[in-house]
Amino acid sequence: MRKRLKQLLILTFTLILSLPTLIYCDDNNKVDRYSKSSILIDQTTNRVMFEKDPDAKRPLASLSKMMTFLIALEAIENKEVNKNDIITIDKDMAKVKGSSYHLKVGEKVPLYELMKGLMIVSGNDASIAIAKHISKDVNTFVQRMNDKAKELGMTNTTFVNPNGLPIYDLQNPKALPKENISTARDIAKLGKYMFDNYEKEVIAITDMQTYSYPERGFQKNNTNALLGIIPAVDGIKTGYTGNAGYCLAFSMVVDKDKDNEIKHRMIGVVLGANHKEKRTSASLSILRYGKENFTTKKVIKKDQLIGKKYIKGLEELEVTLKSEDELYATLKNTENLKSQITLKELTYPVKKGDTIGVIKYFTEDGQVIGSVDIISANDVDNISLITKIKMIFTD
């Protein structure tokens, strides 16, 4: 039955991507009918393509492990640890309940295998092993998670452990548990940061549909069902607890084509679905909406000529203006892009590369899409005596 449902989802997604583009619909519940909060962003441009209550604080469940994974990647990069380090499993690691990598006391496991167990099979025990190896104790590691969240601007996120399990007060069973809390928007920020800085390392693990470690006699499928439905999906992480519901952070590559001028990636998050199949359906619908209703195009080239400006209005003091960088924009099919140039008052001398102003791009409803600095393409710093006299008389 589950195999037939999976085949049906693959067929459905293939068919809907081949249909004509949908008319844009403002009713978010028609795009995402199943989650409590969701968001879809473009990694390259950071454009929000879809959102549904994206700033509501909700339990995070195992999406927490994205931050645990990121801290591990950074620790390896900083040479605090090595991915081939062998970790001896202790009681604190092995006793963790919930989704498990089935670690046993005394077992010796490489850090990199624990990272796979963390992200692919959602091992709660693996998260504790990683935390203790990197920071010696779990509390110190959790503080590092919170510090990183603050650094990334995840202003609505708080971690209490490395795996997302609720922590109950056994002395007060009626009290609400302590839990990792975040928002769809914050988790999208985390996903974007991971791909911006560690794309190769991330997809080497999150894109694996099946994880096998023969030395431990362990094999299990990735908990992310989207990997088997859409070939272009390459991550990221599932999550579930009773309080959090079914959650998913996901990523999908969109190839360069007649509508998209660069290959790029969509990153999405759904929180709080009440069934794992509804979590999958919500994610598929959001990806479909983003692919059908948005395109990514270059709006300005690097070193593109903007115009010319003259110091004190003198022709011999001509400054050529050009764009410092290129800029891509993700736009709805129905949107038109407007631009606005703001320039500084020019004063002598001007050096090549000096920032002269900025060009901003925005939609018709005023949403800023991006901006590029305008710089000088030439030096104006060696003038004749006659020009110096002209400058005096133009003051």
- Catalytic choice (35, 37, 122, 283): 122
Length of the chain: 395
Residue 361 DSSP one-character state? E
Catalytic residue among 37, 62, 64, 127: 62
Neighbours of 162 (CB within 10 A): 31
CA dist 41 and 61 (Å) reads 21
Three-class SS of residue 220? strand
Q: What is d(CA 332, CA 259) in angstroms, rounded to the nearest whole number?
A: 11
Cβ(268)–Cβ(39) below 8 Å: yes
Which one from 65, 148, 189, 322 is the annotated catalytic residue? 65
Q: Determine whether 65 is an active site residue.
A: yes
Rounded distance between C-alpha atoms, residue 244 and residue 184, angstroms: 12
Q: How far is CA 118 from the centre of its chain?
A: 19
Dihedral sign of CA atoms 266, 186, 158, 169 in order = negative
Active site residue 122: yes
Structure tokens at 219: 């094999």
Residue pair 58/244 in contact (Cβ under 8 Å)? The answer is yes
* Residue 192 assigned ligand-binding role: no
Q: How far apart are CA 336 and CA 332, in angstroms?
A: 8
Cβ(18)–Cβ(237) under 8 Å? no
194, 287, 364 from 51: Cα distances, Å: 20, 12, 19
Q: How many CB atoms lie within 10 A of CB 285?
A: 21
Write the burial class of residue 200 (CB in 10 Å: 0-12 exposed, 13-18 middle, 19+ buried).
exposed
Residue 163 and residue 101 in contact, taking contact as beta carbons nearer than 8 Å: no
Residue indicated by tokens 């400006």: 309
Query: Per the annotation, where are the binding residues for substrate?
Result: 237
Q: Indicate which residues carry an active-site annotation.
A: 62, 65, 122
Annotated binding site: 237
